[in-house]
A and B are shown apart, each in its own frame.
Chain A
């Protein structure tokens, strides 16, 4: 009997196969479990919480027990009828567009010039210096900015008064921050993208440059006709990823808008972005309804922006599409 079954193995029936496949999958599901559980807790369960935007939330009744707003869109109405909605939307878009353009142009310039530095040690040193702020927290940068701009002791005011000028009160005049904030963001982020573009340039086939040299091309011609065209796909993909984040303060890294101006009320007009407003409404005013209404407004517009940018990326460069 045994011999016969061995030479002629019967096909396992369907339920047997299911059990076997389940047994094979089990260890993988065990390994995935912690990740999937935390993704559910951190991202999925809060999605249901957007209901708060339509509720008159109180902690005792919870999200589902709290009464609906009357009218339903009251939290939104309150926000959109105030000047604040216009201010934060404008600021968010203004600083994001400015940052995207400034960072791209500066990082490209720096990367192309870095590529001309042939000494390896010097090139690494320059890169290291430019990259340094990328790793600093916005709190540390707040301290750095304060040592530069402090009214009575800051080095900038010392320089101004030393030359006979009058000390400037940087922390109480909103208009200065239209320049200070973009410079701070550029200072923190330009290194990251410079090094990224340097890596992209390093990936260009050197044959192109050699051929161009044989034809007597100048440095500028090589940059204009080889480097830039070959970097174009990288530039486009990076820009499109930013399009998906246009509605997020600081292109997703908004902390600087909160810490750098010391969260000073007098400066909100030029320093407040959507995220800082949500954070403040939650932390200081404990206004759950309004905070989540603004959050939902941001999330919905953000969803469309991500969909649009992904749609274009998928057409141009499917490898870099998110989904």
Chain B
């Protein structure tokens, strides 16, 4: 364990803990856009900048990826210089993506506007290049279906050769983590579409109601993984049917008898539920 100071408060953390993690432990809030607990730090958005003092040597570093390695370090999370740098990062991102709500909200809160910048986007660009999508696909899903391509101002996230790729399973973890809503997932005629990645995927259907539930290839791979881990495969149910069935099973359990059985009318109505589904299927 090492001891460091953040905003004057002493905190003991394991060596290698990032400034961000240590600060959060103290309940201090540091803004981030490209950070996620489940992913490796990336250090790209530069909103989490803090002032670091290493025994007299001062610098501004990103809290999300700066590991505290020794005792005696001192961090300030809200100096004027820190705020100036953070505000500029936000201002630059807002100029790139003026239509993105999370940036607009922060800008209102921090009193940042882009009026004095010469280049401001037309609002169409929604990607702030935080890389959460790229990292979740690589680090968690293990697919690497998307990556950064080009460099500098041209940089963007894309599939290989900007074409449809069979690496994309349609898990939509990218869309789930995207802080700006730039990745849109939609269903059309029973298929799952992620236009940004040119993905157009066949879906497996709910064995109960026949509605599309999950991309077919994703299901195959999930079942393989489950089998490897000794989890028995189950029949595929949509969320709704799964709930119905769970509810039905729960209510079918022997119930302590406090009176006549017909004093529980709710039970009957639960059992009727599958019929509703049958009706939907027929639609």
Do the two chains bind? no
Chain A residues with CB under 8 Å of chain B are none
Chain B residues with CB under 8 Å of chain A are none
